[in-house]
Amino acid sequence: MINEELELQKFEQKIANGEKIEPKDWMPEKYRKQLIRMIAQHAHSEIVGMLPEGNWITRAPSLRRKMVLLAKVQDEGGHGLYLYSAAETLGADRKDLIEALLNGKMKYSNIFNYPTLSWADIGIIGWLVDGAAIVNQTMLAKCSYGPYSRAMIRICKEENFHKRQGYENVSVLAQGNAKQKQMVQDALNRWWWQTLMMFGPHDENSTNTVDLMRWKIKLETNDSLRQRFINLTIPQAYAIGLTIPDNDLKYNEKTQNWEIGKINFDELYNVINGNGPCNRIRIAERKKSYEEGNWVRIAAENYALKNKNNYGTK
Ligand code: BYC
């Protein structure tokens, strides 16, 4: 019989020693549940995140930009696949997770519920959205669960490329003609606050952080990661002549932090509860793609079954 108390002590000791927890190790049910929630939301964000950028593949302004964008969107699909696999190592069923996304029971990142109105939005997503993801995921690469941490190391390498291409794209527009400058500033104005919301509510309102930090799934809080992103990004905006859309923004010499105005968290909650500008269209597109891909899943299942039977007779 398993002595739960003793197993919990051993589990916590392993985490305290900086060792990774692997799929077959004993783990508390709450740890497993929190990880499935977070990893699945992350996987969903990657595949829903393909849509706003995918929207511009046919309209990229040059062959080079089109190739880069195609590669990036394909990378995001790959990230979704690693992450669904990581969730499966915890006993989750991929089909159930995808159904939970499609019927609105599981969340995905707020940021993908906004429209991409101009080409500049594509550069801004790479620079800001992937930039925010890197700050968060560099921490997650050190998390206590082995498969998630290893997936993050690989994903962060690709996100770095995504961020660089985004910043390069934005810099070219920011140095372009008046119309291009205005287009990129307008995109920054529309994405800035929403990107800051990607890090989640303020620490005092973050319902999961205490559990997640206790077991080193998260190593830092939402506010501390958000501040790091702000400090990194503001000088990058100024370097290319862009203005941050925040009248209260000021630099605090003492703390060496950029201090920002008030984030409208009502907007975050409204969006993650399904009422953002594009939630319905994003889910409708994912549903359509899931239904159209059904024949591929059936063929793959039959192929696997046939091979299993063959192995049995050899
Ligand atoms: N969006 O207790 P809290 C990418 C929810 S994709 C939606 O602080 P936690 C990319 C939260 O789930 C990168 N929901 O939560 C892809 C919770 O609700 P539940 C996506 C949010 O988990 C394509 C409630 O609010 N990255 O890079 O401690 C193209 C209370 O929050 C959000 C990840 O998914 C939000 N922004 O912290 C380009 C990283 N914020 O679940 C780029 C993995 C909060 O209790 N996830 N909520 O009903 C995380 O690091 C954490 O889950 C979060 C939230 C920081 C997002």
Q: Which string of DSSP letters, residue by residue, matches 45-79?
A: HHHHTHHHHHTTGGG-SSHHHHHHHHHHHHHHHHH
Query: How distant, in Å, are the alpha carbons of 96, 299, 300, 301, 306 from that of 312?
Result: 29, 20, 18, 17, 10
Largest separation between any pair of C-alpha atoms in the chain? 73
For ligand 1, is residue 55 a contact (CB within 6 Å)? no
User: Does the beta carbon of 47 lie inside 6 Å of ligand 1?
Assistant: no
CA distance 281 to 167: 28
**The ligand 1 atom nearest the CA atom of 130:** 42
User: What's the CATH class of domain 13-313?
Assistant: mainly alpha
Ligand 1 center from residue 138 Cα (angstroms): 15
Between the alpha carbon of residue 313 and those of residues 194, 219, 307, the distances in Å are 57, 50, 10
The model scores a pTM over 0.85: yes
> Which protein residue's CA is at the shortest distance from atom 47 of ligand 1?
200
CA 115 to chain centre: 17
| Ligand 1 pocket member 135 (CB < 6 A) | no
Task: Verify whether ligand 1 is closer than 6 Å to residue 197 (CB atom).
Answer: yes
pLDDT score at 1: 64
Name the residue ranges covered by the structural domains of the chain.
13-313
Cβ pair 26, 10 in contact under 8 A: yes
CA distance 18 to 68: 38
Instruction: For the chain, 314 residues long, give each residue's pLDDT as a single digit of tens.
Output: 678 899 999 999 999 999 999 999 999 999 999 999 999 999 999 999 999 999 999 999 999 999 999 999 999 999 999 999 999 999 999 999 999 999 999 999 999 999 999 999 999 999 999 999 999 999 999 999 999 999 999 999 999 999 999 999 999 999 999 999 999 999 999 999 999 999 999 999 999 999 999 999 999 999 999 999 999 999 999 999 999 999 999 999 999 999 999 999 999 999 999 999 999 999 999 999 999 999 999 999 999 998 887 665 54
Among 68, 127, 272, residue to substitute to test ligand 1 (most atoms within 8 Å of Cβ) = 272
Q: Is the CB of 206 under 6 A from ligand 1?
A: yes
Task: Find the angle CA(56)-CA(180)-CA(72) to the nearest 5 degrees.
Answer: 30
Residues 6+ apart with CB under 8 A from 304: none
